[in-house]
Amino acid sequence: MHRTATTATAAPGAVAAAPTAVSTVGAVDWDHPLDPRPGPQRDHVTSYVETGGVDGHIWHGVPTLLLTTVGRISGRAVRTPLIYARDEDRYLTAASGYGAAAHPQWYRNLLAWPEARLQVGDRVLRATGRPATAEERDTYWPALTGRWPVFEDDQARVAREIPLVLFDLL
């Protein structure tokens, strides 16, 4: 995989700039993504993948998908399990990050590289993701929080507005 990044040579004694987003020139290896660190999320992903979603698609009574994004710095595919809702062929999720103060990594990756893969059950779908407009958020947020009310609790705990993310199939 060829990667390029914008870098500048720092003058002697100067502090180097923070890493910038990576632009992947070659093909992304969507078939071999990085999975979450060991723990419940990785266990969920492993079960989901090994069973084609038979074990893992429904989690705590709600449907989940596996989102694969491209790391904005690494250029590598990264997989994350997320709760979702649907509107016809559009998939909806929230960038809640368990109510963290900052947006989750997958969301920041998606802003840098909107193309993604969604595994829903045993189907892997190509999609593009984007934050909902204010009007779309007003329309879809109740459907998503009706499915998983914890998103409302997360929103009440944080100063940031939790983005509602829309995925349209390619």
Kindly state whether residue 14 falls inside one of the protein's structural domains.
Answer: no
DSSP 126-165: EEEEEEPPHHHHHHHHHHHHHH-THHHHHHHH-SSPPPEE
Beta bridge partners of 4: 23
pTM to 2 decimal places: 0.84
- Could you give the number of structural domains in the chain? 1
The enclosing H or E element of 108 equals: helix 105-112
Kindly state whether residue 19 falls inside one of the protein's structural domains.
Answer: no
Kindly state whether residue 98 falls inside one of the protein's structural domains.
Answer: yes
CA nearest 41: which of 56, 30, 31?
Answer: 56
CATH code, domain carrying 145 = 2.30.110.10
Kindly state whether residue 9 falls inside one of the protein's structural domains.
Answer: no
> pLDDT tens string for the chain (170 positions)?
333 333 333 334 433 333 444 444 468 999 999 999 999 999 999 999 999 999 999 999 999 999 999 999 999 999 999 999 999 999 999 999 999 999 999 999 999 999 999 999 999 999 999 999 999 999 999 999 999 999 999 999 999 999 999 999 99
Kindly state whether residue 11 falls inside one of the protein's structural domains.
Answer: no
- Domain ranges, residue 57: 31-169
Give yes or no for a contact between 116 and 167, defined as CB atoms under 8 angstroms apart.
Answer: yes
